[in-house]
Structure 1
Amino acid sequence: MHITTWICYCIGYVFIVSSIMKLINGDFKGFFMSIGLPFPELTLFLVAITELACGMLIVGRMYMKLAVPPLILIMLGALYFTKIPVLWTDGLLTFAMNARLDIVMLILLLLIWQQVKGYKIN
């Protein structure tokens, strides 16, 4: 199996599990309200459905050109809304610890995006 297949499985797993937790765990609603997003309940639902749909497409390696960009945007939003404030209040090491999964997922998404733009995923 090619390495990009494993990367797709890893990306899909993280986003599918994350989306399911957003849909069933009520704590996320309060969190989305606390960070000041407009229409927090609708935003939470849209993020969760997007993560679920795009994660499933990536696991199936289908419509990759359409599935990767929304997830990149979600990861950038997660960094901006949840991790950058930690950088300003608690410092670089706390930021690095809290943002590690977000940064790894962003890098993996960018790697897959680079593959999709130039080549067909095997």
Structure 2
Amino acid sequence: MQLQLLNWFRYVIGYVFMSTGIVKLLVPNFKDIFLSLGLPFPSATLFLVAMIEITCGALIIARVYVKQATVPLIAIMIGALCIAKFPIFLKEGILSFVFESRLDIVMFIFLIFLWRHSNEFGVASDK
């Protein structure tokens, strides 16, 4: 039963990151979003983040290097919360922040769980 639950977690996490990465590459509005964040080299940053999300999401679904694949995704989630969501807290308050960051926080928690427990639930060894 626990292995089935971890598999569902992996599928959900992989799906969210793969679909988000693909959308970042295909939807032109994401370039504008990255431009508005004040990041250096926004087009290159957008491409890099999208490729990391697609690649790591696929690795998680495939049960290959799961522990290693979660680390860059955790970094992306921390970056998203700090760069894109925390300013919402400063400008609009706690309720807007909580609403806008809900998926980021849930995915962050799921990634931490997967990183900590991947070896316990029979995920392919990635030492």
In 2, the alpha carbon distance for the partners of 1:118 and 1:80 equals: 31
Unaligned runs of at least 5 residues, structure 1: none
Residue identity opposite 2:67 in structure 1: K
Instruction: State the distance in 2 between where 1:92 and 1:68 align.
Output: 28
The 5 Å alignment of 1:72-111 reads 72-111=74-113
Per-residue CA deviations over 1:72-97 (Å, capped at 9, x if unaligned) read: 00000110111100001111111000
Deviation at 1:118, TM superposition (A): 5.6
Tell me, what secondary structure is at the counterpart of 1:62? coil
Q: Distance in 1 between matches of 2:121 and 2:10?
A: 15
1:3: how far off?
A: 0.6
- Structure 2: gaps of 5 or more residues: none
TM-score by length of 1: 0.95
How many residues are paired up? 122
Report the TM-score when normalising by structure 2.
0.91
For 1:91, give the aligned amino acid. G
Give 1:16's match in structure 2, choosing from 15, 18, 37: 18
Q: CA RMSD in A?
A: 1.4
Segments of 4+ in structure 1 off by > 4 A? none
- The answer (yes or no) to whether the contact 2:6–2:121 under 8 Å persists in 1 is no
**Cα offsets for 1:29-51 (capped at 9, x unmatched):** 11111111001000000000000
SS of match in other structure, 2:31: helix
**2:57 counterpart residue number:** 55
Percent sequence identity is: 46
User: What is the DSSP-based 3-state SS (H/G/I as helix, E as strand, rest coil) of the residue aligned with 2:118?
Assistant: helix
Does the aligned pair in 1 maintain the 2:70–2:115 contact within 8 Å? yes
Letter paired with 2:88:
V
Q: Deviations over 1:4-58 (max 9, x none)?
A: 1000000001001100100001111111111110010000000000000000000
